[in-house]
Structure 1
């Protein structure tokens, strides 16, 4: 649907809204595109979609790579939600779209009909904060697209995360949509307290019998009217355990949901690598893939977690879904929803469901994130199922509306984030609310895959029989709650991983990551800074550099093939959580790697962090970076660590050293910025 009145030349970015009311001769359509690595930008996009739908836009929410350039010139408005990852890179599911936008064949003004706005999600602990979002905005305007509402940005380092910036921006976005694309006379936005019918809805399915014993569902990922009907007893060729057997033992089913593009991995070992008395359980998971998958240092494995049967049954009981929990379901386009011109994709499009029995229990185990901390939009959805029939119901509805109110963000924080209260626990409080099972895919959040840096590299990437080997260093998360004491807190994915035993299978995705380490780097030394589980990608790099040096013409200039390379590792205790200690000593004694350690909680040693080791070894690190033009890699927890590392590097670069000259602080900051632009300073934190 093309719109008239957009033939103006490209507007220079002024940071101001450019409200130009449009004549509405055709239905108002909004296309919301997201580029997301961990799911945060997708959540933002979906909330924007709900808001636009209340303004009576025909809305479609898609990942950026699903859209083509021709798709963004058709809607009335295009809205982006984009995360910045790595060193200012686009997320995996936005790279194709970005590559298309960068094409030299595109002429200035080609997107002059496009009216857009955008929200960026970034982390200010990275030097290139929200760069991907800013580049997208700049390129869109360069091609003629015009902002109808000021862009917004969220910062994960804010106490409230990106939600603080998003909460402010969506208010201005709503007004911008109304100002630039006004509703027809006499038509009002859909009230917040009016329930929006979802575009897809669950129904009980009729069993379809085919010759092979399984039903076949047509591909409905493009929003076709055909239903997704799934029955059968296999998942990727693996037998599905009977649900009643699984519930009895309170362990996730061994059956795997077939995630498109994922691999089946067998767990060979799942060993704890911290001492029994250490405060944290950290595992080294050793996996094998029959598929041949090539990966390099910095690569990421995506683990698709499962919820536990005990929690699932509790949720079923709370909702009163016992009679339908194990019945076969179909996912169909909602005939009660005015679909307009959009082709909204199935919420289960990431799964290959041809040979899967889809049930409420199956969805709660594999798809619906009932153990996550709920967002504001969840309470807004719940409020539509509340009533005022009695005093308890009226009170609970009032409380839901408070938690859904964007102006009462402190209420939401104190009730959800501070005590780490899960959706399951929320429903234990709001006992009068029953979510209709038909709508569970639109009310409950989807469970996202979790990313883990791969710890294996070099010779460790294949086993003796040629299978792909993947090792993960996983800290089992059990965060304490300052308020809720009667139930333990868990990391959803790490709890699942901790339950796995040798011989079990799990579904994993493989991604390249953003460190982009290449054999040509052997010509210069690397300074690898990886405290805690940040050691995982550093270990992968060490093994890979060793293999490259052994299989190329590279000749070590010193005592070993890793001569000049520096690893800086930090942990709490030398005995408690010094990961791969024996390996590190071997690399140091036999291959010339310099290993510097910092222990922050050893009683017989002064408290140290990785930035302290940088300062204490200033001469050696300056030599690696200034004289030999080496590289820096920083991996680990975001927040204070990467900021402290950068500050320490600035200090030692601006320190007067004999034979190495002197640069002032400003010059040292510029030198690090230049290293980053050259790809010599890379950071991967989480």
Structure 2
């Protein structure tokens, strides 16, 4: 049987799902399988009815939401008028990436798997639920699942025996050719080879609006190890509308010093220009990369040279290293078993922003007080609790001033300044009657943000105790009450590892 073209479609918010999807593409090529890897919203979803073999890789964001680059696909695939036999010719597998500290762990992957079955598609194997909270990371679940996937695929669609698998450590054939130009079209050697034309249409991720920065203010104490900033931008001439809860995506660039150092180490001429050409007709060039492009522009604007490398980076280095021992170590760092060594090797200080607990309506995160009051012109917050340190008590003076004016009740838990630690969950229990009254009688909202390791579980247990002690609910009824708050979006979490 002739092996079909494998299609890998990904929905990725931060790049992790895309990295896994591209890994699938590399492993398919090692097994001599034709493979295309695309973002879900860049694929013509109506063509799914003709695809025989598809692997979906999708992350879950926020409160069970799909990533931005699969929202159009999400709306289409859940159209009620799609026939139940739409995808009856398709074999598929779904790989999810999520965080089990969230209530809707891998919600997108689970819902997509069920929907594909409803449309008649056949699952090659059970869904894979990668978990950021696993001590070895999501790859501890993904790696054995991928082994089962390739076994199933090659069983159904065997490749010719005269095409052996390309082993790990052997570089794959390049997808592109890079041709340096004999002359630099633009004399500005350290900038783009082509002048940037005026963007057409409204601002978007591919055509961003270059907003001037107005202020850049540090909001943590000068001696605090966390450097958290309030940055304001001027979008007066952009035509962009802004509503509460919107976020800004900032495309950074590498510093001139880092760019110069990178080029020096690799022996690259920053002023040299090149064009990139695919070796195969169905391989697109990287989106957004100008043609031609200068080495300086490539390194400064498009390569993340200061990031913590992913597993795939060490896998690629292993293919390029001429030293056997070095190659073995690189392959170890690219394995799930080597993740502890990889984290130690790549370790650098991590910034934890702030644990914020709100047990009143209409706020989220460490936002400025004036902005909070803009969100709730007719409802005053009844209580607010912050756990961290005086050094990262964001807008502390403003919060205290609002409390003096009677606009809110402020409760703090500065655990880093205490001999006997007092955390958010302790303050919640102390204020149990108030918390119950706010939630049960005044329709309050509860927003929880902070580190995902222990805090969400501890706070949830404190709430369950309050529901039982103050509300007289049994343990099962307290769990049902909490679930109802989550379902109606009156209890929301935003946590990170």
The TM-score, its normalising length taken from structure 1, stands at: 0.65
Of the structure 1 ranges 169-178 and 34-43, higher mean CA displacement relative to structure 2 is found in 169-178
Which of residues 272, 293, 313 is equivalent to 1:378?
Answer: 313
C-alpha deviation, 1:111, in angstroms: 0.5
1:191 Cα deviation (Å)? 3.2
Paired residue for 1:344, among 283, 286, 307? Answer: 283
Seen in structure 2, the aligned counterparts of structure 1 residues 541 and 681 have a Cα distance that, compared at 3 Å, is farther
In the alignment, structure 1 residue 637 sits paired with structure 2 residue 467:
no
SS at match of 1:47: helix
Does residue 333 (structure 1) correspond to residue 274 (structure 2)? The answer is no
Distance 1:234 1:104, change over 3 A: closer
Query: For each residue in 1:418-451, what CA deviation from the matched residue of structure 2 results, as whole angstroms up to 9, or x when unmatched?
Result: 1325xxxxxxxxxxxxxxxxxxxxxxxxxxxxxx
* Aligned counterpart, 2:425: 611
1:165-203 C-alpha deviation (Å, 9 max, x unpaired) = 122221112212111211135433333344222323332
Q: Residue 566 of structure 1: which of 383, 391, 396 is its match?
A: 383
Q: CA deviation at 1:367?
A: 1.6
Quick check: 1:282 aligned with 2:239?
no
Question: Does the 8 Å CA contact 1:203/1:329 hold for their aligned counterparts?
Answer: yes
Residue 313 (structure 1) shift: 3.1
Q: Which residue of 2 aligns with 1:663?
A: 473
Deviation at 1:417? 1.1
**3-state SS of the aligned residue for 2:178?**
strand
Write the distance in 1 (CA, Å) between the matches of 2:88 and 2:197. Answer: 48
Residues 1:126 and 2:53 aligned together: no
* Offset, 1:80: 0.8
Show the counterpart of 1:417: 343
Looking at structure 2, the residues matched to 542 and 57 of structure 1 have their Cα atoms a distance apart, in angstroms, of: 54
Please state how far the C-alpha of 1:410 moved relative to its aligned partner.
4.1
C-alpha displacement of 1:663: 0.3
Contact residue 136 and residue 337 of structure 2 kept, 8 A? no
Q: Which moved more, 1:46-55 or 1:134-143?
A: 46-55
Q: Please give the alpha-carbon distance, in whole angstroms, between the structure 2 residues aligned to 1:671 and 1:85.
A: 24
CA separation in 1, counterparts of 2:395 and 2:81? Answer: 51
Distance 1:178 1:184, change over 3 A: same
Aligned alpha-carbon RMSD (Å): 2.9
In 2, the alpha carbon distance for the partners of 1:540 and 1:156 equals 35
Q: Match for 2:193 among 231, 235, 240?
A: 231
Contact persistence 1:571–1:600 (CA under 8 A): yes
The structure whose RCO (Cα within 8 Å, separation 6+) is larger is 1
Partner of 2:218: 272
Q: Note if 1:187 corresponds to 2:57.
A: no
State the 1:362 CA deviation.
2.1
Q: Which residue of 2 aligns with 1:45?
A: 21
Moved more, 96-105 or 161-170: 161-170
Mapped to 2, the partners of 1:540 and 1:636 lie a distance apart of 22
Report the alpha carbon displacement of residue 662 of structure 1 after superposing the two structures with TM. 0.5
Q: Which residue of 1 aligns with 2:356?
A: none
TM-score by length of 2: 0.88
Unaligned runs of 5+ in 2: 354-358
Partner of 1:384, secondary structure, is: helix
State the Cα deviation string for residues 336-390 of structure 1 (Å, max 9, x = none): xxx3xx623322x145x37xx7222322222212222223322222233233xxx
> Quick check: 1:298–1:540 contact (8 Å CA) kept in 2?
no
* CA distance in structure 1 between the aligned counterparts of 2:385 and 2:41, rounded to whole angstroms: 38
1:257-283 deviations in Å (ceiling 9; x for gaps): x96142212111212222222232222
2:349 corresponds to: 479
Q: Matched residue of 2:248: which SS?
A: strand
Paired position in structure 1 for 2:361 = 526
1:679 aligns with 2:453: no
1:526 and 1:624 in contact (8 A); partners too: no
SS of the residue corresponding to residue 249 of structure 2 reads: strand
Gaps of 5+ in 1: 1-22, 215-229, 238-257, 388-392, 422-477, 481-489, 495-523, 550-560
- 1:397 paired with 2:337, answer no
- Residue correspondences, number: 482
CA distance in 2, matches of 1:628, 1:172: 52
- The separation in 2 between residues aligned to 1:396 and 1:299, in whole angstroms, is 46
C-alpha displacement at 1:128, in angstroms?
Answer: 1.1
CA 61–121 in structure 1, closer or farther in 2 if over 3 Å, else same: same
User: Matches of 2:408 and 2:495 in 1, distance apart?
Assistant: 23
